[in-house]
Amino acid sequence: MRPSWAAVADAVGHCVLIFTFVPTLAPVPSWIAFELSNPLNARDPVVLAFVLVRGVNLLLDTFRARVVLGVLSGAITGVIVSAWVWSGARVSTTLERIVLGALGGVIGAGLAVTVWPSAAVTLEIISGLLCGMLAAPTAVRFLNASNSPDGAPADLPSL
């Protein structure tokens, strides 16, 4: 039984959210390391008072730089995962879902990078791999939920 269009939209939307917002968090560890080693934070209370402002600026700048590429990569990956499930191929185990997501993420990021000029192609491919691994299991659950009579995901017992 094929998933409904609403389930496909949920799966694609989930992939878009993961691909758009998760890479925004990538520079946070290096920013925290910088702030911990910044001697001005210990000496000047005004500099320390603006640590959160600098963090928010970092997140907003990263989001602005990645939003278009993330939406394109996520949409392409969501369509790939949806097409795979739509074709009737079984993706029953979590490992199969992760592998499908990883492959779809690499393909989606690779296609988005060719559409959107990027100097860091390797970084985008790795980001697509990781985001696809995160997004696909839930996307497949959304797609399988439309196949069960009570609307619950097919791999989970209904209450």
147-157: per-residue pLDDT in tens?
Answer: 665 555 545 44
Tell me the percentage of the chain whose pLDDT exceeds 70: 87
Amino acid identity of residue 16, one-letter, is: V
Q: How many CB atoms lie within 10 A of CB 104?
A: 29
* Most distant CA atoms of the chain, gap in Å: 65
pLDDT digits (tens, 9 = 90+) for 86-116: 888 888 899 999 999 999 999 999 998 876 6
Whole-number Å distance between alpha carbons of 97 and 121: 24
State the pLDDT at residue 120.
73
Are 81 and 142 in contact, with CB atoms under 8 Å apart? no
Whole-number Å distance between alpha carbons of 142 and 152: 9
pLDDT at 66 over 70: yes
Chain-centroid distance of CA 156 in Å reads 23
Nearest 10 degrees: CA dihedral of 140, 146, 147, 148? 110
State the pLDDT at residue 157.
44
Q: pTM for the whole thing? A: 0.81
- Of 3-7, 115-119, 128-132, least confident by mean pLDDT is 115-119
